[in-house]
Amino acid sequence: MTMKAIHQTPIQQAVAFLRAGELVALPTETVYGLGAHARQPEALTKIFLAKGRPFSHPLIVHLASTAQLSDWARELPPEVDVLAKAFWPGPLTLILKKRPEVSTLLTGGQDTVGLRLPAHPVAQALLRAFGDGIAAPSANRFTHLSPTTAQAVREELGSKVACILEGGVCEVGLESTILDLSREQPVILRPGMISAEQLEQALKKPLLFSQQSAPRVPGMDPVHYAPETRLNLVATDDLEGFLNTLTAADLPLAFLVRRQPSIQPEGVHCLMMSEEPRQYAHDLYLTLRRLDQQGFKQIAVEAAPESREWEAIRDRLAKAAGRSRSSSA
Ligand code: TXA
Ligand code: MG
């Protein structure tokens, strides 16, 4: 294939690759995505193969404008307009009933499709120049942490993509909130930094939370969003108790805390995390990914507060810890 880069901007190159059925990594405000032409089944297949992801896990379609929603969804319930005005472009994905021609490769065989208008200027420029939907899961190998820098994408999937668009560190740092509007009542399938409370305020009604553990529910596999290093959660009032139980086999250990423990045994590397959920979310995957490369025997994390604005962080921490339990068993 001759795809000369001369006189082309990175966005133009990326559009040419997408049209040719290649994979393109793109920054979004949540995490980096592994993008493909959402109407090309062969390109979609490449996403699953590159990630090592089961074909039953559906992909999100990214769009430049709300005018494109009806190209993908066969029904737009009134909530869509309200939520689009309040939160798009931004870190919210809506699940809607799909149009018949939308590939079931994209939807994991389901009758619904996930749609999102991202806010990152590079993602927007790419989507506008491309003019159609870009399917993009997080640009990590299956079960790994989502990447929040271009460098992290290079480490995860560098050899599998035609190009990686540089977009700096992702501002939000956690994957989008997913709200299913295809059922009788709206259901949150994955919490994110747009909180249930914000969605309820916009919709003026309470939301349901998904309880089921079918594969369609994002991140419900026990091995999701996890670092390689064993990860343990520690209650805030037990930081010292936990440190006192450590043995040589646990060291060196990295400890992500929001308050400094009163003791600091040798071999324990304490890292102060933010007290503020937005900053904490922004830093979490960056920090875990960095620590994962530093040869610690274990990463311990002070549990997040119980309040609603920490919900997405609690969710991702629980999943990261769940992976560790099963892999150490
Ligand atoms: O922030 C994000 O959402 C990032 C950026 C790149 O946009 N994307 C992302 O994609 O996190 P992914 O594939 O890693 O996670 C999307 C989740 C999947 O776990 C999938 O189960 C769920 O969205 N999903 C997509 N379409 C769905 C559908 N039709 N029904 C139910 N869940 C769906
Ligand atoms: Mg993912």
Q: What is the pLDDT of residues 152-186, one digit of tens each?
A: 999 999 999 999 999 999 999 999 999 999 999 99
> Is position 219 within any domain?
no
CA 18/CA 130 separation, integer angstroms: 8
Is residue 328 scored above 80 in pLDDT?
no
Q: How many angstroms does the Cα of residue 138 sit away from the middle of ligand 2?
A: 4
- Both structure tokens of 252: 């060196």
Residue nearest to atom 19 of ligand 1 (CA): 218
CATH number at residue 251: 3.40.50.11030
Residues of the domain holding 236? 230-328
Ion ligand 2: residues, Cβ under 5 Å: 138
Q: Which residues of 54-90 are buried (b: 16+ CB within 10 A; e: fewer)?
A: eeebbbbbbbbebebbebbbeebeebbeebbeebbbb
Listed in sequence order, the residues at least 6 apart from 210 whose beta carbon sits closer than 8 Å to its beta carbon are: 180, 187, 188, 189, 217
**So what's the pLDDT on residue 329?**
27
Burial of 305 (0-12, 13-18, 19+ CB in 10 A): middle
The model's confidence at residue 3, banded by pLDDT at 50, 70 and 90, is low
Give the tens place of pLDDT for each residue, 85-118. 999 999 999 999 999 999 999 999 999 999 999 9
For residues 259-268, average pLDDT: 95
Is residue 216 scored above 90 in pLDDT?
no
Question: 266 and 175, same structural domain?
Answer: no
CA 268/CA 34 separation, integer angstroms: 36
Residue nearest to atom 12 of ligand 1 (CA): 137
The model's confidence at residue 252, banded by pLDDT at 50, 70 and 90, is very high
Domain count, the chain: 2
Ligand 1, residue 113: give the atom nearest the CA: 29
User: Residue 246 to residues 53, 118, 313: CA-CA distances in angstroms?
Assistant: 36, 43, 25
> Is position 218 within any domain?
no
Give the tens place of pLDDT for each residue, 7-55. 899 999 999 999 999 999 999 999 999 999 999 999 999 999 999 999 9
Question: 131 and 260, same structural domain?
Answer: no
Question: 103 and 37, same structural domain?
Answer: yes
> Is position 151 within any domain?
yes
> Is position 127 within any domain?
yes
Q: Which helix (H) or strand (E) holds 324?
A: helix 311-328
Question: 97 and 168, same structural domain?
Answer: yes
106 three-class SS: coil
Sign of CA dihedral 8, 10, 14, 17: positive
**So what's the pLDDT on residue 141?**
96
**So what's the pLDDT on residue 4?**
58
91 three-class SS: coil
> Is position 1 within any domain?
no
CATH number at residue 172: 3.90.870.10
> Is position 2 within any domain?
no
Question: 139 and 203, same structural domain?
Answer: yes
| CA 144 to the chain's CA centroid | 11
**So what's the pLDDT on residue 306?**
96
For residues 272-284, average pLDDT: 98
Name the residue of 161, 175, 225 to mutate for ligand 1: max ligand atoms within 8 A of Cβ.
175
**So what's the pLDDT on residue 231?**
95
**So what's the pLDDT on residue 226?**
78
> Is position 3 within any domain?
no
The response to whether residue 176 sits with its C-beta less than 6 Å from ligand 1 reads yes
Question: 124 and 241, same structural domain?
Answer: no
Encoded amino acid at 314, one letter: R
Question: 88 and 121, same structural domain?
Answer: yes
The predicted model scores a pTM of 0.93
**So what's the pLDDT on residue 210?**
85
For residues 177-199, average pLDDT: 96
Question: 166 and 196, same structural domain?
Answer: yes
CA 115/CA 68 separation, integer angstroms: 10
Q: How many angstroms does the Cα of residue 286 sit away from the middle of ligand 2?
A: 15
The model's confidence at residue 327, banded by pLDDT at 50, 70 and 90, is very low
Last residue of a domain, one of 209, 241, 275: 209
Is residue 212 scored above 80 in pLDDT?
no
> Is position 271 within any domain?
yes
Ligand 1, residue 91: give the atom nearest the CA: 1
Q: How many angstroms does the Cα of residue 50 sit away from the middle of ligand 1?
A: 16
Question: 44 and 131, same structural domain?
Answer: yes
- Of 175-179, 210-214, 253-257, give the lowest mean pLDDT range: 210-214
Q: How many angstroms does the Cα of residue 137 sit away from the middle of ligand 2?
A: 6
Nearest 10 degrees: Cα torsion 212, 180, 198, 319: 40
Is residue 6 scored above 80 in pLDDT?
no
The model's confidence at residue 322, banded by pLDDT at 50, 70 and 90, is confident
What does pLDDT average to over the chain?
A: 93
Question: 169 and 33, same structural domain?
Answer: yes
Question: 267 and 193, same structural domain?
Answer: no
Question: 40 and 135, same structural domain?
Answer: yes
Is residue 57 scored above 70 in pLDDT?
yes
